[in-house]
Structure 1
Amino acid sequence: MRPSSTAALQAPDTPAPLSRMAGALTLAAMSLGFGVVQLDITIVNTALDSIRSGLGGDVAALQWVVNAYTIAFAAFILTAGALGDRFGARRIFMAGFALFTAASVGCALAPDAGSLIALRGLQGLAAALLVPNSLALLNHAYPDPTARGRAVGIWAAGASLALTAGPFVGGILIALTGWRAIFFVNLPIGLIGLWLAKAYAQETPVHPGRAVDLPGQAAAVIALGALAAAVIEAGVRGWTDSFVMLGVIVALIAAVAFVWQEARAAQPMLPLALFRHPLFARCALVGLLANIAIYGLIFVFSLYFQEINGLSPFATGLAFLPMFGVVFPVNLLAPRIAERVGARVTIALGAALSAVACLALLPIAPGTPYAAMALQLVGLSCGLGLMVPPLTSTLLGSVDRSRSGVAAGVLNATRQSGSVFGVALFGALIGPAGAFMHGLRLSIIISATLMLAAAGVIRWGAPSGAAR
C-alpha cells in the first residue's frame, strides 16, 4: 500500500503511544493468547492415538476431536472480532482467555469421546475470542506500520514456539501421566496471560453501535458443520451416500444464506465491502489455501508416524520438533525480508517453498526412515513461517483501524475454515481400510497444488498498484 493511503487509513482512533515496557508486555500477553490456541493444535495431534486408546473411536472420531475445535474457531471468529470492536478488544480477549482455560480443564476431565468433542468445541469458541482481539490489541499498541510488522512477527513467532513445544511436551506428558495432562498444561498459561493483559494491555476504542449478526452467525455454523460432517463421513460411507450428499446440500444452502444475509444486513459480521480491496481479498484466500494444505498434512502425518511407522507419542513429538522448531526463527526473519523485497514477494516465496517440499515427500512409503523426510518437513514449515507475518500485517494494513477486529477475524476465519476442510478431506482420503498410503500421497499432491495456487494469487494476481 502507498504511504499516503496508509496514513489516511490509520488516522482514525490513533492510540496514545505506550511505554516500551507496556508495549512489550502487551505483546507478551497477546503472544500467549495466540500461542495457547496454536499449542492445542499440535499437542492434540500428538495425542490422537492415545485418545483413541483411552476413549475408543475410529478415524472419524479423531477428526471430530480436531474439527470440533476448528469449526467453532472458524465459525465464531468473525463475531468475536465484531464483539471486540463493539465492547473493546481487551475485554473480549480476557473473556476468551478465561473460557479457554476453563474448557481446557474440562477436556482433561472428559469421561468419554462425546464429552471431549463438545468441550473441544467450547475451546474453539474461546480461541475465536482470543485470536482476532489479540491482533486488534497489537494493531492498537503499534500504530507505526514497521513496528507493527515486527510486533506481528514476534506474535507469530510466539505461536511458532507453542507449535514447536506442543509435540515434544505432549509426548513427554503422555508418556509420564497420560493424554489428559496435555490439557492441564493450559492452566498456568491462561493465568499468566490474563494477568499480563489486565495489567498492561490498553483497551481499544469502543464502538457501541456495532451489532452482532445472529442470522449470519447461525448460517456460518451450519455451513461449516455440515460441510465437515459430510466430508468426514464420506471417508467411511463413500461420497454417494445419502447422508454425505445431504450434508453437502445443507452446507451449500447455508453458505448461500450466509452471503445473502451479509449482503443485506445493516451491520454484517462479514462486511463484504472489505473484499473490494484486492489485497485484502487475496490475503484472505491465501490464508484459506495454506491452511487446507498445512493442517491437513499435520493431521495425516500424525497418524502416519504412529499407525504406519509405529512411533510412540513421544517419538512422534520428536519427529515434529524440527518441523515446528524452524518456524520461530523464520517468523522473526520474515518481516525483515518483506521490508527488503516486498510483502507479496515474501508470501509467494514461502508458498512456493512449501509446494516444493510437498512434492519432495511423494516417494514416502511405510517404513520410510525419518531422515529421508526430515528436510522436506522442515521446508514445508519454513514456507509457512515465511508467509504468516507479512500476510497478517498486509491484511491489517489494508483496512481502517476501526475495523481491525473484523479484519483479523476474517483472516483467521478463512484460515481456520481451511484447517477444518483440510483435516476433514485428508482424513477422508486416508480413512478407508487399506487406503492410507494412497490417501497420504494424494493429500501431498493436493497440498502442493494449493500452495502453488497461493503463490500465484498473491504475487501475480494483484493489480499493479498494490503493495509489493
Structure 2
Amino acid sequence: MPWTPLNPQRRVLNATSLSYVIVILDTSIVNVALEPIAASLSASVAGLQWVVTAYTLAFASLLLSGGALGDRIGAKPTYIAGLLIFALASALCALAPSLPVLIAARVLQGIGAALLVPCALALITAAYPTPDGRARAIGIWAGFGGIAMAAGPLVGGLLIHLLGWRSIFFVNLPIALVGTWLASRIEAVAPPAPASRRLDALGQVLVIVALALSVALLIEGERLGWQNAWVRMGTCTAVAAWVLFLRVESRTRDPLMPLRLFRSSAFCAATVVSLVSALVFYGLFFLLSLYFQTLRGWPPLRTGCAFLPLTACVTAGSFWSGTLTRSYGPRPVVGAGFLLYAAGFAGLYALSADTPYWRVALCFPIVGLGSGLITPAATTLLMGAAETARAGVAAGVLNASRQTGSAFGVAIFGALLGGAASMATGIRTAVGTAIALSLSANLLWVLALRKRTEGTAG
C-alpha cells in the first residue's frame, strides 16, 4: 500500500502534541528527583523550591511575550525557536555542576517553553476553525500532556534508579529534535499579525519583576522572617510592580496582556480557574513528593510508582474532557473537576508517616480526573472567546495563568510546610487550603458563566 501523507491538520496536531510532552514532562519529572538533587548539590527545601519554580516562573512571566511574538512574526518560526532553546537548556540542566547553574538552566528551559506553548495553541486554533474540531484537537493535545504527566514520575524514577538524576534532562533532547523536524514539515497555518504591532517591553519587564518578587517572597519569607527589612521592601516593590503593570497595560497601544480580553466573563473565568487548578495540583504534588521521599524515606523509583494512580487519571481525564465538553459544554465539566478536587483532597487531609499507602492511592484517581477535566474544557472556552488574530496572546494569557498558579502553588505550600511544626501538620494545612480554593473557584466559575448566559439571553 502506498504511503499517504498526513493532512495539514494532523501534522499540526502531531507536532504540537509532541512538544507539549516535554513541557509537561519537565513540570512533573523533576519532583521525583528532589532528594537526589538535594544530596548531590547540597540543596535545602528552599533550594528545591527554586529548582521547581525557576522553570515555571520564567515560563509564566514570558508566555505573554511568547504569544505576542508568535502573532507578530508567525507561530511556526517562534514555535521552532522555542523547541531548540528548550533542547539547549535541557543539556545545560543535565551538565549543571552546582545548584545556581541548575536553576539558571531551568530558567532557560522556561524561556523555550514560553515560546512554543502559546504558538502551539495558535497553530491548533488556526488549523481547526470549527468549535467541535477545536475542542477535539485541544483535548488530544492536552491528553498528550496528561500522558507526559503520567509517565513523568515513573520514567523519572526509573531513569534516576538506573542512570542518576541528570538523565531526566538528557531524555528531552531526542524528543525536542524530533519535534523540531515535525514542526518544520507543517504549513504556517497561523499568519503573522501586521508588522506595525510592537512588543510591550515595559510591560514585560514589570511582569517579570512582579512575578519573580512575589514568588521569591513566598519562598524566602519564612526563612528570613516576615518583619525583615528586605522582605518588607520586596513586598512594597512587588505591589508597586503589579500596579504599574496594570496601568501600563491599560494605556499602551499594543499591550502585553490586553485588558479588554477580560471584559468577557468567559475569558476571565477560564483564566482564574486555570490558575487555581494549577496552584492546588502542583503545590500538593511538590509537597507529596517531599512526603514520600523525606517523611517516608522512599527512593525515587518507588515515589514515581506511588504517583501512577494520580497521573494516569490526569491522562484519562484530559482525553475524556474533549468528548464531555462537546456533549455538555465546558460549564458542567469544569464544575465537576473542582468538586472532584475537593473530594480527593479531603481524603488526603489526615496524612501522616504511618498512613497506609492504599488510603492515599484511593484519593489519587479522584484528584487526577479533576485536573484532567478542567484544563481542556477551560482552554476550549477561552480560545473560543478570543479573536483569531489574538490567538497567540490569548493562549499566552491562559498558559501564563497556569504556570503562575504552578509557581505560586509550590511557593505557597512550601511556605505552609516551612512554617508548620511538622511535615504532617504542614500537609494538613496545605490540603485544607486546597479544598477551600477548589470550592471557591467552582463558585466563581458557576457565577461567571451564569452571568454570561443571562447576558446572552438578554
TM-score w.r.t. structure 2 length? Answer: 0.96
The change in CA–CA distance for 1:362 and 1:230 in structure 2 (over 3 A counts) is: same
Aligned partner (choices 81, 88, 94) of residue 80 of structure 2? 94
Q: Which residues of 2 match residues 419-438 of structure 1 at below 5 A?
A: 419-432=406-419, 434-438=421-425
Residue in 2 that maps onto 1:169? 155
Residue in 2 that maps onto 1:342? 329
Aligned residues: 450
> Do the aligned partners of 1:289 and 1:454 also contact (CA within 8 Å) in 2?
yes
> Do the aligned partners of 1:287 and 1:415 also contact (CA within 8 Å) in 2?
yes
> Do the aligned partners of 2:293 and 2:300 also contact (CA within 8 Å) in 1?
yes
Q: 1: distance between equivalents of 2:344 and 2:228?
A: 35
Residue in 2 that maps onto 1:259? 246
Aligned partner (choices 51, 55, 62) of residue 76 of structure 1? 62
SS class of match (1:111) = coil
The change in CA–CA distance for 1:20 and 1:458 in structure 2 (over 3 A counts) is: farther
Q: Which residues of 2 match residues 361-376 of structure 1 at below 5 A?
A: 361-376=348-363
Residue in 2 that maps onto 1:187? 173
**What letter matches 1:447 in structure 2?**
A
Q: 1: distance between equivalents of 2:264 and 2:20?
A: 26
Q: Which residues of 2 match residues 18-37 of structure 1 at below 5 A?
A: 21-37=7-23
Residue in 1 that maps onto 2:294? 307
Displacement after TM superposition at 1:235 (Å): 2.7
SS class of match (1:427) = helix
Residue in 1 that maps onto 2:272? 285
Q: 1: distance between equivalents of 2:382 and 2:419?
A: 39
CA RMSD of aligned residues (A): 1.4
Within the alignment, does 1:407 sit opposite 2:399 as a pair?
no
Judge which range, 73-82 or 348-357, deviates more.
Answer: 348-357
Residue in 2 that maps onto 1:447? 434
Aligned partner (choices 248, 259, 274) of residue 272 of structure 1? 259
Identity %: 43
SS class of match (1:446) = helix
> Do the aligned partners of 1:69 and 1:124 also contact (CA within 8 Å) in 2?
yes
SS class of match (1:74) = helix
Judge which range, 124-133 or 204-213, deviates more.
Answer: 204-213
Q: 2: distance between equivalents of 1:113 and 1:256?
A: 33
Q: 2: distance between equivalents of 1:239 and 1:418?
A: 22
Q: 2: distance between equivalents of 1:122 and 1:411?
A: 21
Aligned partner (choices 364, 383, 399) of residue 396 of structure 1? 383
TM-score w.r.t. structure 1 length? Answer: 0.94
CA deviation vs aligned residue, 1:35-68 (integer Å, no higher than 9, x gap): 1110001110110111001111200000110111
Ranges in structure 2 where 5+ consecutive residues have no aligned partner:
none
CA deviation vs aligned residue, 1:447-468 (integer Å, no higher than 9, x gap): 1111111111112333134789
CA deviation vs aligned residue, 1:322-343 (integer Å, no higher than 9, x gap): 2111122221111221222221
SS class of match (1:460) = helix
Q: 1: distance between equivalents of 2:431 and 2:277?
A: 13
> Do the aligned partners of 2:274 and 2:374 also contact (CA within 8 Å) in 1?
no
Displacement after TM superposition at 1:439 (Å): 1.2
**What letter matches 1:301 in structure 2?**
L
**What letter matches 2:80 in structure 1?**
M
Q: 1: distance between equivalents of 2:214 and 2:445?
A: 27
Displacement after TM superposition at 1:210 (Å): 2.1
Q: Which runs of 4+ in 1 moved over 4 A?
A: none
The change in CA–CA distance for 1:458 and 1:201 in structure 2 (over 3 A counts) is: farther
Q: 1: distance between equivalents of 2:396 and 2:121?
A: 9
**What letter matches 1:57 in structure 2?**
A
Ranges in structure 1 where 5+ consecutive residues have no aligned partner:
1-18
CA deviation vs aligned residue, 1:196-227 (integer Å, no higher than 9, x gap): 11012434111122211010000000001111
Residue in 1 that maps onto 2:115? 129
Within the alignment, does 1:241 sit opposite 2:228 as a pair?
yes
Q: 2: distance between equivalents of 1:215 and 1:274?
A: 20
Q: 2: distance between equivalents of 1:51 and 1:402?
A: 43
Q: 1: distance between equivalents of 2:7 and 2:387?
A: 27
CA deviation vs aligned residue, 1:115-167 (integer Å, no higher than 9, x gap): 00001001011110111110000001111110110000000000011111111
Q: 2: distance between equivalents of 1:321 and 1:21?
A: 35
The change in CA–CA distance for 1:290 and 1:51 in structure 2 (over 3 A counts) is: same
> Do the aligned partners of 2:317 and 2:368 also contact (CA within 8 Å) in 1?
no
> Do the aligned partners of 2:83 and 2:179 also contact (CA within 8 Å) in 1?
yes
CA deviation vs aligned residue, 1:252-292 (integer Å, no higher than 9, x gap): 11101110110111100000000001110111011111111
